[in-house]
Amino acid sequence: MNIYVLIKRTLDTEEKIVLNNGAVELDGATCIINPYDEYALEEAIKVKESQGGEITVVTVGGEDSEKELRTALAMGCDKAVLINIEDDVENGDQYTTATILGEYLKGKEADIIFAGNVAIDGGSGQVGPRVADILGISCVTAITKLEIDGDKAVIERDIEGYTEIVELSLPFLATAQQGLNDPRYPSLPGIMKAKKKPLEELELDDLDLEAEDVAGKTKTLERYLPPQKEAGKMLTGATKESVKELISLLRTEAKVI
């Protein structure tokens, strides 16, 4: 089984976001594997454990992304590929990432490609389906269960509170939803082994791509933080009077009645 997992480096969910001239400040910030991609990694490892094969984890980014790739290797992936666009692409978007990944995966004869359902920083959910379209293979999003029997797969996927069951043939791309599994933590032996596993670094030139081939199709006009929440107001005194005051505040300040 030839398995690929597409991951992204994102800010830690506990990290406080700081804007500097409209850009998210990453210097000194803690970054992690996108949480939805962890479900994809775990499912790939489970498939390998049951079916055999090899897992290659791939990301598009800069040198800093090597840390997340090493974590994926420590979890149980066999090889890692960093497609470094740090010096080539200034303003990339989902089109950029999908085009690069699609070009890399052409001719790899992948049986299954896993990706996260969405990235927590953008939340568009575009990259996986775009890559599948480029490769001309089936795509199932938001999967919550996967069973493989030979060259067939039965998948359950979440559709806004309901479950859809899909049967399809390999190869396909699947994006992982929360609830698919419980991602494992890298073990100490896994961390030690990860240091010796191959990590290949590529650039656009290696894929016969130019910067203009992958230029973003969208433009971010503005980034801003949500307004700070005001402190809540405590009402004291007799219940009857407090209720009257609450109704007045809902009408005059909150303007919800």
In a domain, 222, yes or no: no
Residues contacting residue 219 through CB under 8 Å, at least 6 positions apart: 91
In a domain, 108, yes or no: yes
Residues contacting residue 129 through CB under 8 Å, at least 6 positions apart: 139, 141, 173, 175
User: What percent of the chain has a predicted confidence (pLDDT) above 90?
Assistant: 70
β-pairing, 138-149 vs 152-159, is antiparallel
Q: Are 180 and 144 in contact (CB under 8 A)?
A: yes
Domain that holds residue 17: 2-214
Clarify whether residues 249 and 186 are in a common domain. Answer: no
Clarify whether residues 17 and 132 are in a common domain. Answer: yes
In a domain, 89, yes or no: yes
In a domain, 221, yes or no: no
Is there a cis peptide before residue 129, judged by omega within 30 degrees of 0? Answer: no
Which token pair is 101?
Answer: 């990944």
Indicate whether 23 pLDDT > 80: no
Question: Distance between CA atoms of 235 and 129, rounded to whole angstroms?
Answer: 51
Clarify whether residues 47 and 10 are in a common domain. Answer: yes
Clarify whether residues 15 and 47 are in a common domain. Answer: yes
Encode pLDDT of 171-212 as tens digits.
Answer: 999 999 999 999 999 999 999 999 999 999 999 999 999 999
Question: Distance between CA atoms of 239 and 228, rounded to whole angstroms?
Answer: 30
Q: Are 216 and 92 in contact (CB under 8 A)?
A: yes
Clarify whether residues 21 and 117 are in a common domain. Answer: yes
pTM recorded for the entire structure = 0.87
Clarify whether residues 73 and 154 are in a common domain. Answer: yes
What total of structural domains would you count in the chain? 2
Indicate whether 3 pLDDT > 80: yes
The CA-to-CA distance between both ends of the chain, in Å, stands at 60
Clarify whether residues 122 and 26 are in a common domain. Answer: yes
Which CATH number does the domain housing residue 110 bear?
A: 3.40.50.620
